[in-house]
Amino acid sequence: MDATHSMFCNNDLVNPLSSMGMQVSCILVVSHVFNVVFRTVGQPGPIAQILAGLALGPMSHIDYIKATFFPASSINYYEVVSFFCRINFMFLFGLEMNIHYAMRNLRRVSFVACGGALMGGVFGLSVSFYLHQELNTIDNAPLYYFSMIIMLVVSYTSSPMVIRLAAELRFAASDVGRMAVSSALITEMGCLLLFNVMINWRKPNHISAGLGCVIITVLVVYINRYLAVWLNARNRNQKYLKAPELLLILLLLLTSSMIIEIWGYNSIISCFIIGLLFPKEGKTARTLLHKLGYSIYNFVLPVYFGYLGLQCDLINVFRSLQRVACMAILILLSIGSKLGGTLLVSRYLKIPTSEGIFLGFILNTRGYADLLFIGAAAKQVITFDSEAYNVLLVSIVLNTIISGVIVAFLVRGEDKMFANNYTAIEPQQMEDELRILACVYDPRQVSAILATVLAMHGSRVSPSTTYIMHLIELVKKIKSNLLYHEKENADLSDDEDYGGNDVVEINNSLDTFTAETKILVHQRRAVSSFPSLYEDVCNEAEDLQVSIVLLPFHKHQRIDGKLESGKEGIRITNQKVLRHAPCSVGVIVERGLAKVPGFSQLVASEGIQNVATLFFGGPDDREAIAWSLRISGSPRVNLTIIRFLLSSSSQNEQIESGESEENEILMSLSGEETVNEIDNTFMVDFYNRYVTSGQIGYVEKFVKHGAETVDSLKEIGDMYSLFIVGKGGRGQSSLTIGMSDWEECPELGTVGDVLASSDLDIHGSVLIVQQHRDVKKGLLHD
């Protein structure tokens, strides 16, 4: 009773739990205020949060406040809470990491990471002899341990800081942003590995303990693989896992981390690897990303960054010229080593100097695992006194603030460095990654989208990343008289109710697709009213730096084969996206369900799909061919290019690539009519590259006017399961004149509108492609 009274009743504010709660609340409030203020001058959230902590720092060193809110008994509580937070957000970072990009660019990413880290190690070693004389340690640690700690501090890069800066400043999807994040993670994992070896080297059982940590990590990875499959199969009609199921996964992570920590090793690397190798598909990963992401990015990391600044005692450092000199040396060497190392590597890898400077500064951000290097985690080999610890901590914090401010300045000033270089498909090489943002309004549109995704991923030569965005109309919600605990999904917020059962059906379709094809599709969601829904699509396309946005047609096919209009808001949204999209746009008209299976059945069937790309001329048709080249590598797609040419009085025959000599084809490509020079050069280059080698079929059709063009389309209507055509760029060409007299959907272009019309009896779906208008016109390159 006396113990309980002394813990909770003697002075409630002195209780470690209550004082920690008040600190967290204070940091969150002040951080939010600082974030609002500094956002107006372009500074990211993490920098504002650290500055908020610095502003609160002097108050924490007042004797009364320190005794009330920072009691000595609370240190263990902070370490435990920090441990819980650390394992969760490293697991989340592993879950979110784009491993495919890192593997494709492993050489570049590794060189950038090692360049700054190795030079930092050299600089840290050179200055450690001086700092060893100036900074005191309680246990008089040997010089080699001291030197290794300084080398780690100077070499280290904080991946949480880099990830948050990339997200806040919106350059995470750019090539330089992804390189920075991947390099930061490699640097951090390397420094942590070296730190673990250093503190355990002298232990008699360090090898067996290290092997035990590896075995524990591998075991958890394998358990998670089977556990995720089992949880995905349970309760398929739910959007997310239930709370007990989520806690089961986190409990497994916590247990393995505690075992590793008890054995004397740090568990950060293990948590990251467990997250990295966790199955990314299905309801389990979706729940973890949603639940962990919200809490960590909105609460845990802001408090973590704020508390980083709160611990600093700037006044104490600046009272001594000696301490100021040590701090300045550490900051200058850190910046110099990162800049020098990354610039040397950038020159070797032929990375632009501006990108090398940016990488040097962003990889110079600190404030995560380096606190372990100088804190309690290193007490087995070295323990700094309070003044030395404060000097190292202040140098880490000021280093991060300086680098973060410069990074924000560079992002604002170097728009070209972070701009999307590929707003269209035509200028890209086949080896370049193609990013696609596919939109769906309801579940029946998913099959056509997934068939297109499968065809696009069929070629190993052309890597691609696909995002599927569920567009949900924001409607006025009906108030319920039920209490919170009486609701069916009480554990979800009101925002999660939007989309209804459509969300579950779409999720199940994507999960089944991923399980069958092993193709990972990243999910997004936008909830807005129809008049402003296009803004969400365009903003997401810009943030993800995609090359093309795929939209479903506003009409759907009935059982009798006729097309029936859906919501008018869908058509208006599509029209606005076509006008304002920052990249190319494709509209998918799903047909062929009534009589024979169409292209949308590509996922379910094993047969070969015949695809035709119609070429009339113009940038949109060239973009359509560039798209077609990407899917031609799929073993389940047989592609044929059909070029329509104006027939002269002596030309009324059809020329096919398999029935004529190459010189005849090249003569027809130059043609007797005046043809756009770019189109001609484009087609000659295309023919020499792909048709002569037999990869792609080629057919020419000569027509006199629009009526003959329509007749030709009717002739081939039953031959192909997908027709790809450019939207426009032809004007009132003789090839299409008269075809727009009964136009229903001008947003599809002349030929696209005819192919999508119910009056034209074709059995294939239609993809209408519009090239981004700002793209430079040029030749197609392999």
**pLDDT digit string, tens, across residues 515-571:** 888 888 999 999 999 999 999 999 999 999 999 999 999 887 777 667 777 788 899
How far apart (Å, rounded) are the C-alpha atoms in residues 585 and 581?
7
Q: Provide the mean pLDDT of the chain.
A: 83
Predicted local confidence at residue 326, as pLDDT: 92
How far apart (Å, rounded) are the C-alpha atoms in residues 289 and 240?
11
How far apart (Å, rounded) are the C-alpha atoms in residues 223 and 231?
12
The residues near 284 (Cβ < 8 Å, ≥ 6 apart) are 227, 228, 231, 232, 241, 245, 249
Average pLDDT over residues 609-630: 90
Count of alpha carbons within 13 angstroms of residue 154, beta-carbon side: 35
How far apart (Å, rounded) are the C-alpha atoms in residues 463 and 465?
7
Q: What is the largest CA-CA distance in the chain?
A: 110
The β-bridge partners of 769 are: 586, 726
The residues near 226 (Cβ < 8 Å, ≥ 6 apart) are none
222 close to 276: Cβ distance less than 8 angstroms: no
The structure tokens 């990211």 sit at: 44
Flag whether pLDDT at 662 surpasses 60.
no
The structure tokens 């070629």 sit at: 459
For residue 68, CA distances in Å to 5, 15, 530, 762 come to 17, 9, 54, 79
Which tens digits make up the pLDDT trace of 7-16? 334 444 456 6
User: In terms of Cα–Cα distance, which of 396, 392, 389 is closest to 138?
Assistant: 389
440 close to 551: Cβ distance less than 8 angstroms: no
Predicted local confidence at residue 759, as pLDDT: 76
How far apart (Å, rounded) are the C-alpha atoms in residues 31 and 48?
7
Q: DSSP class of residue 479?
A: P
- If one counts every other C-beta atom within 10 angstroms of the C-beta of residue 515, the result is 13
The β-bridge partners of 465 are: 435
How far apart (Å, rounded) are the C-alpha atoms in residues 166 and 565?
42
Q: What type of residue is 446?
A: V
The β-bridge partners of 528 are: 473
Flag whether pLDDT at 133 surpasses 70.
yes
What is the torsional sign of CA 666, 707, 610, 575? positive
The residues near 666 (Cβ < 8 Å, ≥ 6 apart) are 684, 687
553 close to 444: Cβ distance less than 8 angstroms: no
Which tens digits make up the pLDDT trace of 369-407? 888 888 766 777 788 888 888 899 999 999 999 999 999
Flag whether pLDDT at 81 surpasses 90.
no
How far apart (Å, rounded) are the C-alpha atoms in residues 749 and 735?
13
Confidence of residue 453 (pLDDT cuts 50, 70, 90): confident
Average pLDDT over residues 46-73: 76
How far apart (Å, rounded) are the C-alpha atoms in residues 611 and 629?
11
Average pLDDT over residues 193-222: 89
Flag whether pLDDT at 147 surpasses 60.
yes
Flag whether pLDDT at 601 surpasses 90.
no
The residues near 681 (Cβ < 8 Å, ≥ 6 apart) are 779
Q: Both tokens of residue 353?
A: 């100097």
Residue 382 main-chain phi, psi, to 5 deg: -160, 140
Q: Where are the beta strands (DSSP E) in 313-463?
A: 434-440
130 close to 329: Cβ distance less than 8 angstroms: yes
Count of alpha carbons within 13 angstroms of residue 516, beta-carbon side: 14
Confidence of residue 300 (pLDDT cuts 50, 70, 90): confident
How far apart (Å, rounded) are the C-alpha atoms in residues 280 and 600?
25
